[in-house]
Amino acid sequence: MPDKIKFTIDGKECLAEPGQTIYEAARANGVYIPVLCHYEGLKPVGSCRICSVRVNGRWMASCTQPVTEGMVIENAVPEVEEFRKAIIEMLLVEGNHFCPTCEKSGNCELQALAYRYQIMVPQFPYLFPKREIEAFPGFLLEHNRCIQCQRCVRAIQTRDGQKIFTMKNRSKDVRVNVDRKLAAKMSEDQIQKAMDICPVGAILKKEVGFRLPIGKRKYDHRPIGSEIEEKK
Ligand code: FES
């Protein structure tokens, strides 16, 4: 069996399995690195950059970068944390995120990160873009809240491998696109999976939004990242 890889994160000596990404290895060593586009079990795409770290002085996305011997990783240092905070702020102003009325409040990773990074008022102006809400037989697609992480694109497919969610347009007009014919055939479980895998409240299974009351949700009492940090 190949030897373990030695590296450090913020001065802490850690060990990784060969092939692990920095994010995976950090997690295994009780170090929290925030992610948004990444989801366990899905191929990482490295698009949101919230998981950025500095490695030997260079910026890298920890969800795509494999660990190598002797890496010196900076994670919870002011410059890296400020960079992540700015990304969260940009995501908040770029869409329309009205947490108090959102069905996903308390289960939303973007909201939980905003709390973790103590964002009160973003440093950037709100753009208030005009976005639509689309309805499908079993779910709603709320484009106002979508952060284009592409988790749904990667996770939800038909049995024969056809993508139900894809991306269309470019730059500020990029949107999730749903194949209406395929969406009409989605099972209840698939719709639930799409809703659960969405880090925000963009995919909403009909009639279940408030089944679990606000106050009893995932991040209502446990800040994001605490499940990893508590294992230290
Ligand atoms: Fe790594 Fe999005 S979580 S780039």
Domain borders along the chain are: 5-75, 85-205
Tell me the C-alpha distance between 25 and 19, whole Å: 9
pLDDT digits (tens, 9 = 90+) for 160-207: 999 999 999 998 899 999 999 999 999 999 999 999 999 999 999 998
Span from the CA of 181 to the centroid of ligand 1 (angstroms): 31
Span from the CA of 146 to the centroid of ligand 1 (angstroms): 15
- Whether the Cβ atoms of residue 35 and residue 110 lie closer than 8 Å to each other: no
- Does pTM surpass 0.85? yes
In the predicted structure, residue 152 carries a pLDDT above the cut 90: yes
The neighbouring-strand residues paired with 14 are: 7
- Whether the Cβ atoms of residue 216 and residue 169 lie closer than 8 Å to each other: no
Span from the CA of 26 to the centroid of ligand 1 (angstroms): 14
Q: For ligand 1, pick from 27, 33, 37 the residue to mutate: most ligand atoms within 8 Å of CB.
A: 37
Query: Within its chain, how far is the Cα of 95 from the centroid?
Result: 15
Query: What is the pLDDT at residue 79?
Result: 97
pLDDT digits (tens, 9 = 90+) for 76-132: 999 999 999 999 999 999 999 999 999 999 999 999 999 999 999 999 999 999 999
Of ligand 1's listed atoms, the one at least distance from the Cα of 51 is 1
Mean pLDDT of the chain: 95
CATH number for the segment(s) 5-75: 3.10.20.740
